[in-house]
Structure 1
Amino acid sequence: MGKDAVTGWVEHYERAWRGQDVGDLNRLFTEHARYMRSPYAEPLDGLDAIKGFWADPALFEMTATVLAADGPVGVVRVDVSYPEEHHEYRNLWVITFAPDGRAEVFEEWAYWPDKAYTVSDDG
């Protein structure tokens, strides 16, 4: 997939998220997709598990930039903020795509301000 195709997938993801269109996830993820909310978290395996987790009615703002696209893999930097909740995140998404353009593996690396990003040796 090229950068334009990855950008199109991210735009589709954002539209579905904003619209809370869980049914549209069929066009974004394969039936047996693996959704990793963190590289170390237990993955959500399969489209039904992703649908159960994915819906979030909170208002958000999002900007995304495709950093790389190489074969079936795309890497995207995503900034998400929830103004009403005063939360913000900077994410890296590593997405492996099936030949039909849907995601087979979605791996999220989320970071947020004022949170430790290394193991502290004081505790």
Structure 2
Amino acid sequence: MTSLDAVTAWMGNYRKAWESNDPRHIGDLFAEDAAYFTEPYAKPWIGRDTIVEKWLEIKDEPGSTTFDWHPVLITEELAVIEATTTYPNDVYSNLWLLRLDQLGQARQFTEWWMKHPKP
């Protein structure tokens, strides 16, 4: 079930996992059979173990980003999140679709991201 409190907690844990790259932190975000779409039409990573493995293959180094987010829409079934990720040389706008289960773990997560043009 998705709620503002559940989404806020998940986003805090997502950032914790992002900054630690700890497999346990990453795995705790996702249901056992979760689907993680790194792009809307990409083949998803299916299952917690696969998600952890793939995440660590493309991980960001701790402290290499800043991240701001806010909810756009939250229903019982879906959260839409708008965010900005800033790297040392690039900035991305993000739109995320998040579906949480009763335990507050993602059962489906989809990233839409757009790189900002250089000035």
Which TM-score band (shorter chain)? Answer: 0.7 to 0.9
Q: Deviations over 1:6-53 (max 9, x none)?
A: 011101100111011121123210011000011111111111111112
Q: Which runs of 5+ in 2 are unaligned?
A: none
2:76 is aligned, of 71, 75, 98, to 71
Determine the structure 1 residue equivalent to 2:95.
Answer: 92
Determine the structure 2 residue equivalent to 1:120.
Answer: none
Deviates more, 1:50-59 or 1:89-98: 50-59
The residue type equivalent to 1:91 in the other structure is N
Determine the structure 1 residue equivalent to 2:85.
Answer: 80
1:61 is aligned, of 63, 66, 69, to 66
The 5 Å alignment of 1:21-32 reads 21-32=22-33
RCO higher in structure (CA 8 A, sep ≥6)? 2
In 1, the alpha carbon distance for the partners of 2:104 and 2:8 equals: 12
Q: Which has the larger radius of gyration?
A: 1
Q: Which runs of 5+ in 1 are unaligned?
A: 116-123
In 2, the alpha carbon distance for the partners of 1:26 and 1:110 equals: 22
Contact 2:96 2:110 in 1 (8 A): yes
Following TM superposition, where does structure 1 have runs of at least 4 consecutive aligned residues deviating by more than 4 angstroms? none
Q: Percent identity?
A: 31
State the Cα RMSD in Å: 1.5
Task: Give TM-score scaled by structure 1 length.
Answer: 0.85
Contact 2:3 2:75 in 1 (8 A): yes
